[in-house]
Amino acid sequence: MNAGIEGIVGMYVKLGELDTLQRMKEHRKNLLEQCVDTANFSFDVTRSIYRSDLEVIEAGIESLSSEVTGHVDVFNENRIAGWALYDQHPDKRVTIDIYFDGELVAEVVADQFRKDLLKLNKGDGHHAFMFEPPAGSYQPPLELEIRAAKRKVLKAVTVEPPAVTVGPAMDAEAK
């Protein structure tokens, strides 16, 4: 673990600099995306350092973000939608992670406006999220998990295939 990044993150946590930590996180993610292995050079060590830095930054963000409130309103093959907000920082947007069978399939930000959230005094109302699963990806049986801010599970469910019912026509043929 990089003691330097731990000290920097610790300082920003003490100062309550959630915005700065979120910018640091985006910066590290961008650096990580740029470290592409080539035939001439391996970025394995650099990528490992950036991943470690991201863990430390995430922990700092989590400590400042306090509790997350949210709900998944819809989950089906066409749409997964709901809302989430930080209780102590309703001006900040929550990242939502969507997992199918334990694999991360999407990361979306709960930043869409919903009038009902504003009426319910849920921050400025810009706390909704929506994700459209790619065609064919939402195939029951499916372990679906939706997490807010990397930690709070908003929904964890096993989606079962629809039950096959035997209709009257099939009963008549069976006799």
What string of pLDDT tens digits covers the 175 residues of the chain?
A: 577 899 999 999 888 788 899 899 999 988 888 887 666 667 788 888 888 999 999 888 877 777 889 999 999 999 999 999 988 888 888 999 999 999 999 999 999 999 999 999 999 999 999 999 999 999 999 999 999 987 889 999 999 988 877 766 555 555 5
pLDDT attached to residue 111: 96
> Would you tell me the crossing angle of helices 3-15 and 18-34 to the nearest 10 degrees?
150
Residue 149, sorted as left (phi over 0), alpha (psi -120 to 50) or beta, turns out to be left
DSSP state of 167: -
The SS3 of residue 172 is helix
pLDDT attached to residue 48: 87
pLDDT attached to residue 125: 96
DSSP state of 133: P
User: The sheet that has 103-110: what strands, in order across it?
Assistant: 103-110, 94-100, 142-148, 152-159
Question: Residues for the chain: how many in total?
Answer: 175
